[in-house]
Amino acid sequence: MSDAQAFMRRAIELSRDNVKRGGGPFGAVIVKDGRIVGEGANRVTASNDPTAHAEVTAIRDACTRLGTFDLSGAEIYTSCEPCPMCLAAIYWARLDRIHFANTKVDAAEIEFDDQFIYQEFAREPERRRIPMRQMLREEALAAFRDWQASATKIRY
């Protein structure tokens, strides 16, 4: 068995254990330099946090353990193809590669369907199911100017 298979099996094990505890069937591990540096399972219902998907909890765990917000050089093994939110989080965390087991189609078949989110992204903001309205842009730009001028900013 390869290391990659072992890492994916750990993600799957986390997903199955989570189901036994009443959570969603999703697990993920972050691997860097050949070792697991972060693990996560879907904690949405357990924590009443809609952002607590397995990939996000694994990213949070890895960042805490490594003391960084930049996971360059690391890879994620996840029991299912990431949803749009998790995919965005993976890009923000700068992970190098994504390995997944189940597909988004598999997830949709058990009523975890994210297709509507992809469709919403394609619509103009004002035509989305949750309407968006821009306001007070000039006032808000002050924070951007403050950040840009800050000598203590940390780029990410």
| Helix 3-20 and helix 54-66, axial crossing angle in degrees, nearest 10 | 120
Beta bridge partners, 69, equal none
Angular region, 88: left φ>0, alpha ψ -120 to 50, beta rest: alpha
Chain-centre distance for alpha carbon 139 = 31
138 classed as catalytic: no
End-to-end Cα spacing for the chain: 37
Beta bridge partners, 98, equal 76
3-state class (DSSP) for residue 41: strand
How far apart CA 122 and CA 84 sit, in angstroms, is 13
* Catalytic residue (one of 13, 39, 55, 109): 55
Structure-token pair, residue 79: 């029991």
Catalytic annotation, residues: 55
